[in-house]
Amino acid sequence: MSDAPLAHLDDQVEELLRAIADLASLEELTNAEPTLVGKRSVLSSLQKSLGSLSPEERRDAGARLQEARRRVVEALEAQRRDLEARARVAELDADRLDLGDVVLDAVRVPLGAGHPGIVAITQYALEEVFVGMGFRVEDGPEVESDWYNFEALNMPPAHPARGMWDTFYLELGEPETVVLRTHTSPTQIHLMEKAVAEESLPLHAVMPGRCYRRDTPDARHLAAFHQIEGIVVDRGITFADLAGTIDTFTRAYFGPDIDSRLRPGYFPFTEPSAEFEITCTLCRGEGCRTCSQTGWIELGGCGMIDPAVFAAVGIDAEEWSGFAFGFGIDRCAQMRYQIADMRALIENDLRFVRQFS
């Protein structure tokens, strides 16, 4: 063939284009440039071989070769621009990553949460259930006089029932006259006094808050814990209203598969009194360490308000009757979230705390 020197030109060009496309860096490109398009290149040696052709053939072959060179050079320049752009992006990326780290570190700072988050969450959820049932939410002081914490609740000085609560006394005033409240029940007294003063009976309220007892912490007890107290004072209130309220609450808060039961109990401020228990949610009633193998967990106490309590606050027990209840918020959280050991609530182990923040 007359243009025999260029017989494989197309393949050779394809090969060159592939080699160019494979160049992975500007350094590789600079190194390869002489063999791709320079004096030592295939194209240059083809150029030299054209001398053996006739002038006419040389013109055609020259034109083909020139076109081939144009394509190769163009591809090489395109690759150079691409590699330059990539190098620039990589450089910017490197810079940006540094900046990114700084920003991300700032974002990663944990925002924290109201603590103890889970108890607060539980308290709000309980309040919501009771508000839905027609109760309003009230507050009371954590430091109480002996009168509010005990005496007005039908426990005169030296009453044996005072021993039901291991009490922290404050060094304030006469010895043993000021206490950290051992339960939220004294807040009932404040509310009833206020209702009498304002002549605003009937009264339907819940009173959440922190309480203190000289207890040794264990799986079910903390020395500082939370209760929610409830009170209803109205006309014609019966024990059936109390039982219905407890049952409605249990199902609304824990779900329909958790049962509640009332067992006869004793509290000086209610008559009759009952202890309020629910199915242990950790073992679903089978019996486990948390419920001491009974299948039931005691949440708190309740009963019909004792006439002696009405007398202490000046409510006429002939006209009004009522019930009250009080139970542990931490205990509810424990049952709702199936926390085997309540001490997790105060240990501040971030692996625990973060689940609720």
Which residues of this protein are in contact with ligand DAH, per CB under 6 A? Answer: 183, 185, 229, 267, 269-270, 273, 300-303, 324-326
**In the complex, what is the shortest distance from the CB of residue 238 to ligand DAH, in angstroms, rounded to a whole number?**
15
- Whole-angstrom distance, CA of residue 223 vs CA of residue 75: 80
Residue among 69 and 213 whose Cβ is closer to ligand DAH: 213
Residue among 185 and 290 whose Cβ is closer to ligand DAH: 185
Written as one letter, the residue type at 244 is G
- Whole-angstrom distance, CA of residue 322 vs CA of residue 182: 22
Residue among 254 and 269 whose Cβ is closer to ligand DAH: 269
- Whole-angstrom distance, CA of residue 234 vs CA of residue 218: 39
Q: At what angle do helices 239-254 and 117-132 cross, to 10 degrees?
A: 130
| Of the candidates 86, 55, 65, 87, the residue with the CA atom closest to the CA atom of residue 5 | 65
Residue nearest to ligand DAH (CB): 301
CB–CB of 226/346 below 8 Å? no
**In the complex, what is the shortest distance from the CB of residue 112 to ligand DAH, in angstroms, rounded to a whole number?**
31
Residue among 302 and 353 whose Cβ is closer to ligand DAH: 302
- Whole-angstrom distance, CA of residue 331 vs CA of residue 227: 9
- Three-state DSSP state, 313: helix
* Angstrom distances, CA of residue 279 to CA of 241, 250, 290, 292, 303: 21, 10, 12, 12, 20
* Residue whose structure tokens are 């007294």: 189
**In the complex, what is the shortest distance from the CB of residue 105 to ligand DAH, in angstroms, rounded to a whole number?**
47
Residue among 120 and 161 whose Cβ is closer to ligand DAH: 161
**In the complex, what is the shortest distance from the CB of residue 114 to ligand DAH, in angstroms, rounded to a whole number?**
25
CB–CB of 103/147 below 8 Å? no
* Angstrom distances, CA of residue 57 to CA of 17, 43, 60: 26, 17, 5
- Whole-angstrom distance, CA of residue 335 vs CA of residue 164: 24
**In the complex, what is the shortest distance from the CB of residue 267 to ligand DAH, in angstroms, rounded to a whole number?**
4
Residue among 69 and 331 whose Cβ is closer to ligand DAH: 331
**In the complex, what is the shortest distance from the CB of residue 309 to ligand DAH, in angstroms, rounded to a whole number?**
9
- Three-state DSSP state, 182: coil
Residue among 5 and 326 whose Cβ is closer to ligand DAH: 326
**In the complex, what is the shortest distance from the CB of residue 234 to ligand DAH, in angstroms, rounded to a whole number?**
15
Concatenated DSSP letters for 315-339? --TTT-EEEEEEEEHHHHHHHHTT-
**In the complex, what is the shortest distance from the CB of residue 166 to ligand DAH, in angstroms, rounded to a whole number?**
12
Residue among 5 and 140 whose Cβ is closer to ligand DAH: 140
